[in-house]
Structure 1
Amino acid sequence: MGFLLQPGQTVVFAGDSITDAGRTLDLGIVGETPLGEGYVRDVVGLIDARYPGHGLAVHNTGIGGITTAELTHLWDEHVLAREPDWVTILIGINDCHRTLYEDGRAVPPATYEANLRDILDRTRAAGASVVLLDPFYMWLPADRGDQPGQVLEFLGAYHQVVHRLVAEYGTLHVRTHDVFQEQLAHRPLPEIGVEPVHPTPSGHLVIAHALLDVLRW
Structure 2
Amino acid sequence: MTTTFLRPGDRVLLTGDSITDWGRDREQPDSPWGLGHGYAGIVAALAGARRPDLGLTFHNRGVGGDTARMLRERWQTDALDLEPTVVSVFVGVNDTWRRFDSGAVTSTAEFEEHYRAVLDVTRERLDPRFVLVEPFALPVPPVHEGWRADLDPRIHVVRRLAAEVGAVLVPADGLFAAAAARTSPERWAFDGVHPTPAGHGLLAEAWLDAVGLPAA
TM-score normalised over the length of structure 2: 0.89
Per-residue deviation, residues 46-105 of structure 1 (Å, max 9, x unmatched): 1122123432111000000111111111111111111100000000000111234433x3
- Tell me the secondary structure at the aligned position of residue 89 of structure 2: strand
Structure 2 residue runs without a partner (length 5+)? none
Superimposed CA distance per residue, residues 115-163 of structure 1 (whole angstroms, 9 cap, x where no aligned partner): 01100101111211111111010239xxxxx951111332111112112
User: In the alignment, which residue of structure 2 is the partner of 1:11?
Assistant: 12
Aligned with 2:14: secondary structure? strand
Instruction: Indicate yes or no: 2:68 matched with 1:68.
Output: yes
Cα separation, partners in 2 of 1:47 and 1:147, compared to 1, 3 Å = closer
Alignment match, 2:194: 198
Secondary structure, in 3 states, of the residue corresponding to 2:121? helix
Aligned-residue offset at 1:211: 0.9
Rounded to whole Å, the distance in 1 between the matches of 2:135 and 2:176 is 11
Q: What TM-score does the superposition give when structure 1 sets the normalisation length?
A: 0.89
What letter matches 1:116 in structure 2? Y
Structure-to-structure mapping, 1:1-217, within 5 angstroms: 2-24=3-25, 33-103=33-103, 105-125=104-124, 126-139=126-139, 148-217=144-213
The secondary structure found in structure 1 opposite 2:144 is: helix
Asked whether the 8 Å contact 2:90–2:135 carries over to 1, the reply is: yes
- The residue type paired with residue 22 of structure 1 is G
Q: Displaced runs of 4+ in structure 1, greater than 4 A?
A: 28-32
SS, match of residue 193 in structure 2: coil
Task: For 1:55, give the aligned amino acid.
Answer: G
Give the drift of 1:187: 1.6
Which residue identity is paired with 1:184?
A
Corresponding pairs, count: 208
SS at match of 1:195: coil
Task: Supply the RMSD in Å over aligned alpha carbons.
Answer: 1.9
Give unmatched runs, 5+ long, in structure 1: 141-145
Aligned counterparts of 2:152 and 2:28: Cα–Cα separation in 1:
33
The letter of the residue matching 2:184 is P
SS at match of 1:161: helix
